[in-house]
Amino acid sequence: MEKHLYNSKLGKIFWFVQRFGIKEIFMKPLRIIFAPLIIKIKKRKRFIFDKKEYSLFYSKYNITWANERCVEIPIILNYIRDKKMKILEIGNVLSHYFPVKWDILDKYEVGKNVINKDILDYLPSEKYDVIISISTFEHIGYDDDKVGNSSAKILDVLKNLKRNCLKPGGKIIFTVPIGYNPELDSLIKNEEIDFKSQKFLKKFGKSKWIEVTKEEAMVSKYGRPYPYGNCIMIGEY
């Protein structure tokens, strides 16, 4: 596993302040401390995505009720209900909430079933039926190794996944927050990623998420007016 600011305490603090603001240094620990109480009393609201109704997902880990994880997790889980599918997850997210049996590709994080390789170099012995990713693509070339252009690496990653990792007819499903990585936003806005489909969910109020148009989504700000992602894209590639 390579050394990286994610694995350095001081480096991680600096990165956190840079990406989320100094206020969150104090607010996030408070949310974690009061998580059991908040989850217990907070009403579990529902949202509509692609004409299907879901419940918001609340967990103490990564304070999901306060960020975009509350909608990303139930949406992605809906895509992998078929237990016979061979699945690859890009970025170690779902194993923090559920026992998982699929492969996880994460360059830095150590864990069960986690393969510590760069996504550009990954060549599996057997290809996958579906590749999923929750709020990971925005970090590619932007947080992991800020050298050159993030958008170029993201496009190369998608090409590698489709060519070398995905079975014919397979799907790549990923979510990203709008407004976090301006280079990725530009790819989405200018239609430089050949999506089969893309949809957007925007936050209106502390627990209200509504599907919006691309035009409405792309003017969203990260961290404003609510902490963390205020709008996400769900793309099928």
Average pLDDT, stretch 138-149?
81
Query: What value, to the nearest 5°, has the Cα angle with vertex 76 and ends 81 and 57?
Result: 105
Q: Kindly indicate the confidence band of residue 38, based on its pLDDT and cuts at 50, 70 and 90.
A: confident
Structure confidence at residue 228 (pLDDT): 94
Lowest mean pLDDT among 4-18, 100-114, 177-191: 4-18
Q: How confident is the model at residue 1 (pLDDT cuts 50, 70, 90)?
A: very low
Say how many C-beta atoms besides its own lie within 10 A of residue 219's C-beta.
Answer: 10
- Give the per-residue pLDDT at 112: 86
Assign 40 a pLDDT band (cuts: 50, 70, 90): confident
Q: What is the CATH number of the domain that holds 171?
A: 3.40.50
Task: Find tokens 């099928």 and name the residue.
Answer: 236
| Domain hosting residue 187, numbered range | 5-236
Among 101-110, 171-180, 195-204, whose mean pLDDT is lowest? 101-110
When divided into structural domains, the chain yields a total of: 1
pTM: predicted TM-score of the whole model, two decimal places: 0.88
Section 220-224 average pLDDT: 95
d(CA 173, CA 203): 21
Q: Which two tokens stand for residue 27?
A: 């607010």
Q: What is the pLDDT of residues 55-107, one digit of tens each?
A: 999 999 999 999 999 999 999 999 999 889 999 999 999 999 999 999 999 99
Report yes or no: 176 and 184 within 8 Å, Cβ to Cβ. yes
